[in-house]
Amino acid sequence: MTEVAEIPGDGMLRLSRWEALDPYIVCGITTAERGDLAVAEASPEHVASVYEDLARELGFRRVSVPTQVHGTDLREIGASTVSDSGACTVHRAGRVDGQLAEGPGWLLAATAADCVPVYLWSRERGRIGLIHAGWRGAAAGILPRAIARLVRGFDRGSSGAAGDLRVHLGPAICGDCYEVDTPVLSAFGLGGTRAQLDLRRILAAQAAAAGVVPGALTISRFCTSCGPGDLHSHRASGGTAGRMAAFLGLRSD
């Protein structure tokens, strides 16, 4: 596993390590400079407006936005034929914490403010995935489930190993800043009443166990709580922080 620093600019952090490999991959997360991109508490009109703007800026005309519930459900999105009308469509993916797309044309989104945005990309298969992993989702295995679904394919007829799959664990609260209590520790089979928990290290171990090779697994060096001041942190703010929007897509041109 390699620690990397996303590149800041225009109110975003971009994963240049991936974007340098393929001119069609778009990967990153917004910062607090962009304001609050929360979905659950916002009006449909506000969500449509801010995510249309983000999609257009990144070169997409379709963006899929979930309502996250700290679960393990995944939404699959097939190849998209994008019209040339210039109109941008915001698709509401429903109550899911992960999205998988096959083929170009879709920008996937997920919101975070301490939880881990997890990016998945199989360049050979032309598949991407973006999941939101808090402690509940991590304990319930959302990442291994997404990896298995992505490498198997959406038609359920293909098979394969995770060897060509790249996984990036984005900016999130670090282990030093994340103290948890008995219910959280118990969810991971750990004892004690209070302890520090590093969700990204747990997710990295899950990815490795699912077959992701060490050289294809990266982790952001940024902590949302003690890192750069332009990142939203629910815990550091006492629950008043907004949400950042993680994004991942394969452009069609």
pLDDT at residue 80, rounded to an integer:
58
> What percentage of the chain exceeds 70 in pLDDT?
94
pLDDT category, 228, cuts 50, 70, 90? confident
pLDDT at residue 152, rounded to an integer:
85
**CB 90 within 8 Å of CB 149:** no
What's the mean pLDDT when you consider all of the chain? Answer: 93
Domains and CATH numbers, the chain: 2-250 (3.60.140.10)
What Cα–Cα distance (Å) separates residue 87 from each residue in 7, 53, 90, 150, 194? 29, 11, 10, 29, 51
pTM of the model: 0.94
What does the pLDDT average to over 125-149?
A: 97
Q: How far, in whole angstroms, is CA 39 from its chain's centroid?
A: 15
Instruction: Pull the structure tokens for residue 204.
Output: 């990295």
pLDDT digits (tens, 9 = 90+) for 156-174: 555 567 878 999 999 999 9
What angle (nearest 5°) sits at the alpha carbon of residue 13, between those of residues 151 and 153?
A: 10
Between 146 and 156, the higher pLDDT residue: 146
pLDDT at residue 81, rounded to an integer:
47
Q: Is the dihedral of CA 12, 170, 224, 75 positive or negative?
A: positive
